[in-house]
Structure 1
Amino acid sequence: MSASTLVDKFGRQHDYLRISVTDRCNLRCIYCMPEEGIEFEPSANILGYEEIAEVVRVLAGMGVRKLRLTGGEPLVRKELDVLVSMLSGIPGIEDISLTTNGIFLAPKAERLKQAGLTRVNISLDSLKPERFKMITRGGNVNKVLDSIDTCLKVGLSPVKLNIVLMNGINDDEIADFLMLTKERPINVRFIEYMPIGHNDSQWKNLYVPLQRVFDECEERQWAYSTAPSLQSSGPAGNYKLEEAMGSFGLIHPVSQHFCSTCNRLRLTADGYIKPCLAWTEEYQVRNVIGDDEAVRQLFLRALGTKPESHEMFKQLADEQTTHTPTSRRMSQIGG
């Protein structure tokens, strides 16, 4: 198969697969899951590691080179390093990353690195212990900070921190997050709050445009400049404070959407292909695993329905969208 196989009708080549390994999570972050939680999929409905590896093997033959393991919280799956080892051994796969809340990461980081994990993205929405506990509904920020230090020690690089900015909740910590880049060789990424599974007034009230980050730098007279893109920096514009060890990025999925360069497909924990994070369209692949041609054709069919844009900017402006927004929460899709 040619590496150009996974090209959609808008000319976007897809070489990146995000794989949700579970819909379960040990936290209940306010922007990701309702306080009462959600009804998790029965274990029997969740793809096994061998099934995931089979799908990736087929897609590697179609040009997929980069993988990201997500959840839920992927580290609630037992022996995730076993899956990483299976995936890293597939010819054509060049990069395997992990998105995690970091609570369970420190004791597992070295084993994951040895299995073939390349790098990590760690969610960290507050540096204040009580506020972090409130946002995550029970999390311990010190465990996350310990995981960050451990990842740096074992050589996972780059280490990226994901901060969802929320109006009146953590937007007063922008300077504190930026200071982390002065002290450590990490990349802090500020992300706009997205209406995934809940386009409601709460989302609009919490939304913060990322110009606020630049405003904070200017108010404090912190000089910054454009920085080279990191490995697989994706949609983030990257910047660096003067004399900082690390860098910071801005991800504008709503106000400055990056759909024109989207190169990713998603595989949900229960075995569905999602061509776009925001919309309802999805295709069950589990039933055809083992038939390589059927898997190929299903991914091509899904890619053929991928829209030009997720249109979150229309949802922010209360405008009519061309597709139906998904009712699945972020934790059920994998982000």
Structure 2
Amino acid sequence: MAHRADTAAGSAAAPPLSDGFGRRFPYLRLSLTEACNFSCSYCLPDGYQADGRPRFLALDEIGRLVRAFAALGMHKIRLTGGEPSLRKDLDAIIETVAAVPGIRKVAITTNGTQLPRRLPGWHRAGLTALNVSMDSLQRDRFKAITGHDRLPEILQGLQMAQALELPSVKLNAVLLRGLNDDELPQWMDFLRERPVSIRFIELMRTGDNEAYFERHHLRADVIIAQLLAAGWSERPRGADAGPAREFGHPGHRGTVGIIAPYARDFCAGCNRLRVTARGDLRLCLFGEFGVPLRPLLQSDDDFDALLARITTQLGLKAAGHGLHRGQTGLIPHLASIGG
């Protein structure tokens, strides 16, 4: 085992993976489960339905997977779902990931309902960044969109995150025409004294939401125009920044991010790969195929073969998604891979 740890440690200074289009990939989004305890109208309106397929990746498989990506130069891991807080071993998963040599940032994306109870444990285990899905600041709207009246607990969890001084706290709101698209002034007030970022995510078409998409899709350009009119300005993008466009205002401690997958050249800023909860590598959120890694996660002896499979497959990554042509790939809904 020492041999493998030394290999990963030596990768800390290695350059991130890159593809044939010159994009670098320092960032892995790892889904821990497809299960979710919400029934969001844009994702799982009927709630999560188990399908009886093989179980999700176990702790030892996750450890081998992350060591491989770290050895290839990745330094940021985001744990997603479904809803990752449904994993009873989440503390152990965070601790395992954070202990891998070369990993500098361990993030989680959650609906936030478990924050008041579990965030201190995640923080002790090594969590460095938190993203919370919060589609409305209005309690009745939040319940209508998510199916659950849990906004007060989530706001309590955010206060706890600030008390713990987590280095990065971001909120995610899916932009929905007719449901929450008039809340920008309220968000501006929210951000005035809070050093967090709200990310407005343009609704994406998936395999099972065509009618919903037609009713509620709103181009993110509408929000950008409102921000500019209110005196907000776009911030320069960092070298390894993802696809979000970030906006700031001198009178506000918080920032606004815009994630617009239908925008021109959106995929040029891609900097992340994805692995599903069952161990398939996805080169694109809306890709047409998955690469099974799980067979190579059963033994440390397969470490070199695992590295080879990942690097070989990266050469197949396409220049962009096919959303503009109505191609949603393998993804039936966002809970199936964590967005």
Query: TM-score w.r.t. structure 2 length?
Result: 0.89
For residues 188 and 74 of structure 2, the distance between their equivalents in structure 1, rounded to whole angstroms, comes to: 33
Residue 91 (str. 1) matches residue 95 (str. 2): no
CA contact (8 A) 1:81 1:115 kept: yes
Residue 318 of structure 2 aligns with which residue?
A: 307
Q: 1:157: how far off?
A: 2.2
Gaps spanning 5+ residues in structure 1: where? 316-320
Give the 5 Å matches for 1:34-73. Answer: 34-40=45-51, 42=53, 44-73=54-83
Which of 84-93 and 28-37 deviates more? 28-37
Q: 1:308: how far off?
A: 0.7
Residue 325 (str. 1) matches residue 325 (str. 2): no
Q: 1:165: how far off?
A: 0.6
Distance 1:84 1:146, change over 3 A: same
For residues 257 and 16 of structure 2, the distance between their equivalents in structure 1, rounded to whole angstroms, comes to: 31
For residues 40 and 23 of structure 1, the distance between their equivalents in structure 2, rounded to whole angstroms, comes to: 10
CA contact (8 A) 2:42 2:212 kept: no
Q: 1:222: how far off?
A: 2.8
Query: Counterpart of 1:205 in 2: which secondary structure?
Result: helix
Matched AA of 2:262: V
How big is each residue's C-alpha offset from its partner over 1:285-307, in whole Å with a ceiling of 9 and x where there is no partner?
11111201221122123312211
Matched AA of 2:260: H
Matched AA of 1:19: L
Residue 7 of structure 2 aligns with which residue?
A: none
Residue 231 of structure 2 aligns with which residue?
A: 223
CA contact (8 A) 2:173 2:200 kept: yes
CA contact (8 A) 2:16 2:74 kept: no
Residue 76 (str. 1) matches residue 80 (str. 2): no
Matched AA of 2:124: Q
Give the 5 Å matches for 1:273-312. Answer: 273-289=281-297, 290=299, 291-312=302-323
Match of 2:255 among 247, 263, 286: 247
For residues 248 and 226 of structure 2, the distance between their equivalents in structure 1, rounded to whole angstroms, comes to: 14
Q: 1:199: how far off?
A: 5.7
Match of 1:149 among 131, 153, 159: 159
For residues 246 and 271 of structure 2, the distance between their equivalents in structure 1, rounded to whole angstroms, comes to: 19
Q: CA RMSD in A?
A: 2.1
Gaps spanning 5+ residues in structure 2: where? 1-10
Distance 1:179 1:229, change over 3 A: farther
CA contact (8 A) 1:163 1:189 kept: yes
CA contact (8 A) 1:178 1:188 kept: no
Residue 189 of structure 1 aligns with which residue?
A: 199
Match of 2:115 among 100, 105, 110: 105
Query: Counterpart of 1:47 in 2: which secondary structure?
Result: coil
Give the 5 Å matches for 1:131-146. Answer: 131-146=141-156
Q: 1:3: how far off?
A: 3.1
How big is each residue's C-alpha offset from its partner over 1:155-195, in whole Å with a ceiling of 9 and x where there is no partner?
11221010111011111112212221113111111110011
Distance 1:108 1:37, change over 3 A: closer
How big is each residue's C-alpha offset from its partner over 1:80-99, in whole Å with a ceiling of 9 and x where there is no partner?
12111111111111111110
Residue 260 (str. 1) matches residue 268 (str. 2): yes
How big is each residue's C-alpha offset from its partner over 1:49-91, in whole Å with a ceiling of 9 and x where there is no partner?
1101101111111111110000001001013121111111111
For residues 9 and 230 of structure 1, the distance between their equivalents in structure 2, rounded to whole angstroms, comes to: 21
Distance 1:122 1:257, change over 3 A: farther
Q: Percent identity?
A: 35
Query: TM-score w.r.t. structure 1 length?
Result: 0.90
CA contact (8 A) 1:158 1:231 kept: no
CA contact (8 A) 1:23 1:40 kept: no
